[in-house]
Structure 1
Amino acid sequence: MADMVVLYPSPGHLSSMMELGKLILKHHPSVSVTLIMSSPSSDLVSANPSFTFIPLPEVSLPAPITSFLDLAASFFEIPKFNNPNLHQTLLSLSTSSNIKALIIDFFCSPAFEFLSSRLDIPIYYFNSSGACGLSMFLYLPTLDKNINGSLKDLDIVIEVPGVPKVPSKDMPPVLSDRSHRVYQYFLDTGKQMFKSAGVIVNTFGSLEPNACKAIEERKRSPNEPRPPIFCVGPLTVTGESKRESECLTWLDSQPSRSVLYLCFGSMGVLSSRQLKEMAIGLEKSGVRFLWAVRAPKEDGETQARKAGRAAEPCLESIFPEGFLGRTRDRGFIVKSWAPQLAILNHGSVGGFVTHCGWKSILEAVCAGVPMLGWPLYAEQKMNSVFLVEELKVGLAVKRADDDDDFVSAAELEERVTELMNSDKGEAVRERVKALSGAAVVAKSEGGSAHVAMERLVDSFK
């Protein structure tokens, strides 16, 4: 029977896991890679002929989603309800293939406990974020024992080996409320990772040396050995469409490293008030900018609910009167979607205002672009701490004292100027430039990520 590796992604981490699949095929050409997932689109299937896609049935959740924590819980519950279907699919595949490994996204953790007692297949976890986040995650069972009460009700500093200190207010909401079921899902996953065949991490050693070392050195009891850790990143998307874009043509006419790129991800939405304030700050800063603007969220609207509405923004109604005309010669607005990889790798881009999603951070590091961290939701505030304190490839905006979600025009102007035109910004620029080179070395033959990938493939055999 032919050897097979099965990937079980969650929708939000599909692109990173597919890059992992491509690496597996590159290092182990004789193996086949199959993705089991809910409703793979025909475009996805046709664009990736080297993979086999097997759809799982759509499942209905018993409880309505009324908050961000409910949404995060549903990422675990959909795989939970699909466990019997996944089990049957793997049994069917086993009749014609020798399944060497099942790699599950951490949101698919309910599959680990269900399958580990039913199938004799090594199960690996895929951690789409970095080593700092993983270290925090693996330490969660210890934090759960040592801290009384929910983090949302405390004003303390969280200390984890190998990770910068994180104020409790900057911890991910999913880890901050013990009363919500999503907290238990994350806690259980932190425990189950120790029982897995290994944990695959989207990072490289020289990017997060302290966290990587702390994870490797973490001691467990003799009866609970530490699983091997495979730092195989950066897993950034390859083969992005090279379609023509007006913003790239505009960048061609700008001076080298002069443009600030602003983008907050697919779910990054801001209020009308905040967008107006940003426009004022950008105009006063005098910098050139390329800004991906999404339609503003309405008062009281959640990030997730707004992200479901794809209406293009009406720029004239969003920005201060005359803003577009006054900044026409040095600014370019993109409505909603922007070709981020192509933008970050363009020679005219010299800075990136980001929501601190790990994928965006890695893309900027690989492109050698320094960042200004402006986190919005989920684990992004924690990532912002890592960005500044551990990676040292960015600066961070400060929130208004009376509104934790609001950044003033004066603050944005000051931080943008600092990033683009100061000695402090230049130091960050040199650091990220060095790490961009280190990323290339890590993935090259003999580099740390290349060696980790060889170790991973050898463990399948």
Structure 2
Amino acid sequence: MAENYTTKSNGQKSVQAAQVAVVMVPLSAQGHLNQLLHLSRLITSCNIPVHYVGATTHIRQAKFRVHGFDPVTVKNLHFHEFPTPPFENPPPNPNASNKFPNHLIPSFYATIHLREPVCSLVRQLLGANNRRVIVIYDSMMTWVVEDVPAIPNAECYRFNSVSAFHTFSMIWDTKGKPSQPGTEIFEDIPSVENVASPELWELWSKQVSLEGKISSGELYNSSRVIEGLYLDLAAKEINGLNLWAIGPFNPLLLTEHNKDSNKRHQTLDWLDKQEPDSVIYVSFGTSTSLLTEEIEQLAIGLEKSLQKFIWVIRDADKGDVFAGEERRAQVPKGYEERIKGRGIIVRDWAPQLEILAHPSTGGFMSHCGWNSCMESISMGVPIAAWPMHSDQPRNSQLVTKFLKIGLIVRHWARRDELVTSEIVENAVRTLMASSDGDEMRKRASELSVAIKKTVTDGGGNGVEMDSFIAHITR
């Protein structure tokens, strides 16, 4: 309904009196919680109320860890904390043979108890003068929303928390790897062997078996500037449904309102004193715990590289990130003294988006989770890829082979081999202090500029977001 649009001063479009509400149903893992919380912010900027649902501890986690904006101050963003039964919460196992965070599976299974509360919320919103309720659900939460399409005036849209490159490559695998335009790069694509645990595959199969006619369309935290070819190929596989690439979800213009307050993280103050593009940020996300031997080799490699770095050393998240103590990973004796002035070790929660956006950050050693990839790409920072599990091996292929804005630290085919300090040292020096690294940085910067030309001030693809908002308010 074009007549419902008014233009804001920042170029975004606002929907007036559309009488549409959105319910956001994220999976209870950090990268999923974060992406859909950022999407919630974008949708509320169009004057549409968003109701973000989850278990109490995961709502708290999402609010506490979000960076780039304060969700408490966002008008029309409502949080609904629903109780779930207690579940066994084993600690992360850094010695597990598979890097997938199998200890989180119990918390994933507990989400089935959101099924009735979500349906009740949808009915409640429809009874409150909303003519339509839109439910955006994580692809791993299909079983929570399976009853929603039976409710009159309610529609479901599936959010894919991974890249379209990964999505289509999986489809291509199941179809017998047919030769067609766009698949040439798949010739040496990492296999999906051991990317996840049997328990995760079982949970995923439960979601796929329920999909049926639940989804009215699909959403990606991506941009056609990044992977337009694979978004088009993926769109052909969803039986005529609409597909919107409305990313990056994360803000692209970050304010400095906390610069002179105690709230500003110490790493940002340190970065202020460094040269442009001189620091590599090292973090492997929230779902991976490194072996003691891996930590030792990484520490030595970073030290020998003679490059400046910020290194986040944390164990993988537990099902409840606020419960119990975390393992304090040990670095070599005397290490922190030796790197003083050149490196910082962070053991608490780090403001990744702000670090990547800082002009002194010139590289990112990453596990290549899609949330991290999108933040790095949108901020123009090249990636040293060290994939651990799930979609990460294929995301690393997208970054290094297709976009050419990074290099591989650990090849997936050699995932069982220890990454030595020499490998780390060479990768860091190549990315941060070589002509090849300079070229990757240049391409990453150009890609960032191209992305920003397509988005609104707060993030999100303007054209695709307009299309999606027009569709749900039709």
TM range (shorter): 0.7 to 0.9
**Which among 156, 165, 184 is matched to residue 132 of structure 1?**
165
Tell which deviates more after alignment, 277-286 or 107-116. Answer: 107-116
For each residue in 1:277-336, what CA deviation from the matched residue of structure 2 results, as whole angstroms up to 9, or x when unmatched? 1121112212121212236xxxxxx8758977653736xxx3334433332232222223
CA-CA distance at 1:109 after TM superposition: 0.8
Deviation at 1:413, TM superposition (A): 1.0
Q: Secondary structure at the match of 2:225?
A: coil
Match of 1:214? 233
Aligned to 1:11: 28
**In the superposition, relative to structure 1, how do residues 303 and 82 fare at CA in structure 2: closer, same or farther (>3 Å)?**
closer
**Alignment match of 1:337 (pick from 336, 349, 362):** 349
2:223 to 186, 197, 204: 204
Q: 115, 121, 128: which one pairs with 2:154?
A: 121
1:382 Cα deviation from its structure 2 partner = 2.4
Q: Is the 8 A contact 2:399 2:405 kept in 1?
A: yes
Q: Quick check: 1:427 aligned with 2:446?
A: no
- SS of match in other structure, 2:147: helix
- Whether 1:235 and 2:237 are equivalent positions in the alignment is no
After superposition, the CA RMSD in angstroms is 3.6
The 3 A distance-change label for structure 1 pair 76 and 271 is: closer
> Quick check: 1:313 aligned with 2:339?
no
Residue 111 of structure 1 pairs with residue 144 of structure 2: yes
Aligned residue for 2:390, secondary structure, equals: coil
Equivalent positions of 1:31-430 (< 5 A) are: 31-39=48-56, 40-41=59-60, 44=63, 46-59=72-85, 74=106, 77-98=109-130, 99-136=132-169, 139=171, 143=174, 162=182, 164-165=185-186, 166-169=189-192, 172-173=195-196, 177=198, 181-188=202-209, 192=212, 196-216=215-235, 218=236, 225-237=239-251, 242=258, 243-294=263-314, 310-311=325-326, 313=328, 318-398=330-410, 404=416, 406-430=418-442
Question: Residue 65 and residue 421 in structure 1: after superposition, are their counterparts in 2 closer, same or farther (change >3 A)?
Answer: closer
Percent of aligned positions that are identical: 26
Structure 2 residue runs of 5 or longer lacking an equivalent are: 1-16, 64-70
Mapped contact 1:236–1:359 kept (Cα < 8 A): no
Please give the alpha-carbon distance, in whole angstroms, between the structure 2 residues aligned to 1:413 and 1:357.
Answer: 22
- Provide the secondary structure at the position in 1 that maps to 2:447: helix
Structure 1 partner of 2:464 = 452
Measure, in 2, the Cα distance between the counterparts of 1:270 and 1:357: 16
| Alpha carbons of structure 1 residues 405 and 443: separation in structure 2 relative to 1, 3 Å | farther
Distance 2:411 2:82 in 1: 43
Q: CA deviation at 1:247?
A: 2.2
Superposition deviation, residue 266 in structure 1: 2.4
Indicate the residue corresponding to 1:23 in structure 2.
42
Rounded to whole Å, the distance in 1 between the matches of 2:55 and 2:43 is: 22
Does structure 2 conserve the Cα–Cα contact (< 8 Å) formed by 1:263 and 1:293? yes
Change (3 A) 1:181 1:311: closer
TM-score, with normalisation over the residues of structure 1? Answer: 0.80
How many residue pairs match? The answer is 427
1:212–1:219 Cα change, 3 Å: closer
Secondary structure in 1 matching 2:224 = coil
Deviations 1:341-383 (A, max 9, x none): 2221222211111111111111111221111011223322222
Q: Any stretches of 5+ residues in structure 1 without a counterpart?
A: 148-156, 296-301
For the residues of structure 1 that align with 2:312 and 2:231, how far apart are their CA atoms?
34
Larger RCO, structure (CA 8 Å, separation 6 or more): 2
Q: Deviations over 1:177-202 (max 9, x none)?
A: 5995224135436x54x752111110
Cα deviation, residue 70, structure 1: 5.8
Instruction: Between 162-171 and 226-235, report the one with greater CA deviation.
Output: 162-171
Contact 1:376 1:405 in 2 (8 A): no
Match of 2:461, SS state, is helix
SS in 2 for 1:372: strand
